[in-house]
């Protein structure tokens, strides 16, 4: 076996999966990986198929797809050619937009527990480390590509991540392989190409082990990131409320870097759009420094964070929710303007009820033997955040207030519900409430 075959055979021996999908661009790296994987397939007992992504960014891309077909047919490897449309170029840049389209195509085509193989190598790792160091100010930006991680319904693996580019070229030349030369790879207008052709050669000239050192640093950073993430998750669990969208403000007592890391992980867990570093730092500063009687608010595209009393709240931006006063025939559910739904109350009322917004001065009787209490005070006592109060529907029977959202119920109304077996709960659509 050649050194690259030995490396790949070791990877196969350590893998619990036996179904592999090769990301075949047709360049020298993936072409060589196809050659090596196919040569070991029968002897090591695994299945192999390939996917070629045609980004349709180069005039020769149809010819490249045909080259991939020819190679795969010769090796009895099935090939799926996926044509993708690269969008969001102005937003992400060409490289990132193409990568996003490519990953989406791979994700939709990867089966359960299949392993997507890419031919990333040590030089790619060094380039990635430098790019992330230049682009991402956070510690997590320094973490390099991982040899293996979850991807879509299966896995993504990089069996040659410790292999230098020169070793792959030597294998390709020795095997007399042909491959595709994408002219865009020589365009130094792209950041990665600039590093590859202009910066790394000069670094290597001065420090011959530069690529290996950078790749090792990326690997060590990835290891440290795993430890850091575990600590962040521990702190997040300590400060998180029963409601996942709420944190105790004790998180703000952590040092700035740790607190910001916890806030970032919290927003990620809530599936909110990532906040830029400047917004994260502003969140931490405003939420920490606000007076107890203030309700600070920090917004970023797709998200908003508030502080109210001893808690932090994060969610998608609230639409201007207005409860329009309407009559409600309770035999059917009542759908509010923001798609929240009041439950049907069949058989409880002969006349329609009235659903309205808060006007001020409302009172409700929570206990049969007690006097009515001002809703304003109840909202304060129960710590209902101000931005949620305006969206509460008030349900009336004549001049008697029956319900304030599903927070407060008139005592007699609650008894009616219980006797009839009804449950008063407002159904909330995703990303609201």
The CATH number of the domain holding residue 280 is: 3.30.465
Integer Cα distance of 85 and 104 in angstroms: 11
More confident residue, 132 or 118: 118
Q: Which residues contact 217 (CB under 8 A, 6 or more apart)?
A: 129, 142, 144
Structural domain including 252 reads: 240-315
Q: Which of 315, 343, 372 is the last residue of a domain?
A: 315
Mean pLDDT, rounded, of the chain: 90
Say whether pLDDT at 229 is over 60. yes
Residues paired with residue 300 on neighbouring β-strands, in sequence order: 303
Strands 154-157 and 246-248: unpaired
What is the count of structural domains for the chain? 3
Task: With respect to residue 412, please indicate whether it lies within any of the assigned structural domains.
Answer: yes
- For the CA atoms of 120, 122, 126, 132, the dihedral, rounded to the nearest 10 degrees, stands at 30
Do 47 and 92 sit in the same domain of this protein?
yes
Residue 375 pLDDT > 80: yes
For residues 262 and 194, membership in a common domain is answered with: no
In a domain, 178, yes or no: yes
If one compares 18 and 321, the residue with the highest pLDDT of the two is: 18
The CA distance from 77 to 152, in Å, is: 22
Q: Global pTM?
A: 0.65
87 and 193 both lie in a single domain = yes
CB 19 within 8 A of CB 113: yes
The verdict on residue 26 lying in a domain is yes
Spatial separation of the C-alpha atoms in residues 23 and 102, rounded to whole Å: 10
Is residue 154 within 8 Å of residue 113, measured between CB atoms?
yes
Final residue in a domain of this structure, among 295, 315, 335: 315
Tell me which residue has tokens 């002219």. Answer: 183
The residue ranking higher by pLDDT, 232 or 432, is: 232
- pLDDT of 217 above 60: yes
181 and 123 assigned to the same domain: yes
What tokens appear for 433 in the block? Answer: 């409430």
Q: Residue 64 CA to chain centroid, in angstroms?
A: 33
Q: Can you tell me whether residue 430 is helix, strand or coil?
A: coil
Dihedral sign, Cα of residue 52, residue 55, residue 57, residue 63? positive
Q: How confident is the model at residue 8, as a pLDDT?
A: 97
Q: Is residue 35 assigned to a domain?
A: yes
Half-sphere exposure of 283 (CA within 13 A, CB side): 30
Q: Residue 355, SS3? A: strand
Q: Given this model, what pLDDT does residue 155 score?
A: 96
Q: Flag whether 361 is in a domain.
A: yes
The SS3 call for residue 98 is helix
In a shared domain, residues 180 and 288? no
With CA atoms as reference, report the closest residue to 260 among 221, 287, 240, 290.
Answer: 287
- The pLDDT confidence band at residue 391, using thresholds 50, 70 and 90, is confident
Q: Which two tokens stand for residue 342?
A: 């009041």
pLDDT in tens, 232-263: 999 999 999 888 889 999 999 999 989 999 99
For residues 132 and 167, membership in a common domain is answered with: yes
Looking at 257, 288, 315, the residue that finishes a domain is 315
The per-residue pLDDT for 433 is 44
Rounded Cα gap, residues 363 and 410, in angstroms: 10
pLDDT digits (tens, 9 = 90+) for 289-331: 888 878 888 888 888 888 988 889 988 876 555 678 899 999 8
Residues 335 and 196 in one domain: no
Task: Output the pLDDT for position 279.
Answer: 85
CB atoms within 10 A of CB 392: 20
Evaluate whether residue 230 is within a structural domain.
no
158 shares a domain with 65:
yes
Q: CA–CA separation, 232 vs 150, rounded Å?
A: 20
Helix residue ranges, H only, 290-410? 375-381, 386-389
Tens of pLDDT, residues 327-367: 999 989 999 877 889 999 988 998 999 999 888 899 999 99
Identify whether residues 286 and 349 lie together within a single domain.
no
Read off the tokens for 63. Answer: 């010819």
Residue at 366 is within a domain: yes
| C-alpha to C-alpha distance for 153 and 148, rounded to whole angstroms | 14
Q: How far is CA 16 from CA 12, 19, 20, 46, 74, in A?
A: 8, 10, 11, 11, 28
Q: 97 and 190 share a domain?
A: yes
CATH number for the domain spanning 105: value is 3.40.50.620
Instruction: Please report, in angstroms and rounded to a whole number, the separation of the first and last CA atoms in the chain.
Output: 61
Percent of the chain with pLDDT over 90: 60
Residue 67 pLDDT > 50: yes
- Could you tell me where the DSSP H helices lie in 24-116? 28-44, 61-74, 89-92, 94-109
| Residue 189: band (very low, low, confident or very high) from pLDDT cuts 50, 70, 90 | confident
pLDDT attached to residue 186 = 86
The verdict on 263 and 391 lying in the same domain is: no
Largest interatomic CA distance in the chain: 93
Sheet holding 19-23, edge to edge: 78-83, 47-54, 19-23, 115-117, 154-157, 148-151
Helix (H, G, I), strand (E, B) or coil at 269: helix
Distance CA 275, CA 86 (A): 24
Q: Establish if 433 belongs to a structural domain.
A: no
Name the strands in the sheet holding 400-404, side by side, starting at the edge strand that comes first in the sequence: 326-328, 353-356, 394-397, 400-404, 408-409
Q: Residue 432 — pLDDT band, cuts 50, 70, 90?
A: very low
User: Which residues make Cβ contacts (< 8 Å) with residue 110, sequence separation at least 6?
Assistant: 21, 116, 151, 152, 153, 154
Which pair of tokens denotes residue 27? Answer: 């360049």
Domain shared by 288 and 147, yes or no: no
């Amino acid at each position: 076996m050649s050194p690259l075959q030995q490396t790949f055979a070791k990877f196969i021996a350590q893998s619990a999966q036996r179904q592999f999908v090769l990301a075949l661009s047709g360049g020298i790296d993936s072409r060589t990986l196809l050659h090596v994987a196919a040569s070991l397939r029968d002897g090591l007992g695994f299945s192999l198929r390939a996917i070629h992504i045609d980004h349709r960014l180069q005039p020769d891309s149809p010819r490249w797809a045909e080259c991939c077909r020819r190679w795969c047919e010769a090796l009895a490897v099935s090939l799926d050619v996926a044509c993708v449309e690269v969008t969001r170029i102005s937003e992400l840049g060409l490289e990132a937009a193409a990568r996003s389209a490519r990953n989406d195509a791979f994700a939709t085509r990867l089966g359960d527990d299949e392993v997507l193989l890419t031919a990333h190598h040590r030089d790619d790792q060094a380039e990635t480390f430098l790019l992330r160091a230049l682009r991402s100010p956070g510690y997590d930006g320094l973490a390099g590509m991982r040899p293996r991680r979850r991807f879509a319904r299966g896995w993504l693996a990089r069996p040659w991540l410790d292999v230098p580019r020169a070793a792959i070229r030597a294998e390709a030349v020795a095997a007399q392989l042909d491959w595709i030369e994408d002219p865009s790879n020589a365009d130094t207008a792209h950041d990665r190409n600039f590093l590859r052709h202009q910066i790394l050669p000069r670094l290597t000239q001065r420090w011959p082990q530069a690529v290996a050192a950078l790749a090792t640093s990326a690997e060590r950073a990835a290891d440290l990131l795993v430890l850091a993430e575990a600590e962040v998750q521990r702190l997040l669990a300590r400060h998180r409320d029963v409601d996942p969208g709420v944190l105790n403000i004790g998180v703000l007592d952590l040092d700035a870097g740790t607190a910001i890391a916890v806030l970032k992980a919290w927003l990620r867990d809530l599936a909110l759009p990532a906040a830029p570093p400047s917004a994260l730092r502003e969140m931490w500063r405003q939420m920490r420094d606000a007076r107890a009687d203030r309700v600070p608010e920090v917004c970023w595209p797709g998200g908003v964070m508030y502080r109210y009393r001893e808690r932090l709240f994060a969610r998608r931006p609230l639409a201007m929710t207005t409860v329009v006063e309407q009559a409600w025939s309770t035999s059917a559910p009542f759908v509010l303007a923001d798609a929240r739904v009041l439950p049907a109350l069949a058989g409880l009322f002969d006349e329609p009820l009235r659903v309205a917004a808060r006007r001020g001065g409302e009172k409700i009787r929570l206990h049969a033997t007690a006097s009515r209490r001002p809703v304003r005070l109840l909202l304060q006592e129960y710590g209902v955040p101000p931005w949620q109060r305006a969206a509460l529907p008030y349900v009336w029977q004549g001049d008697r207030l029956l319900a304030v959202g599903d927070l407060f119920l008139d005592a007699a109304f609650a008894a009616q519900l219980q006797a009839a077996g009804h449950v008063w709960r407002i159904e909330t659509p995703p990303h609201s409430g």
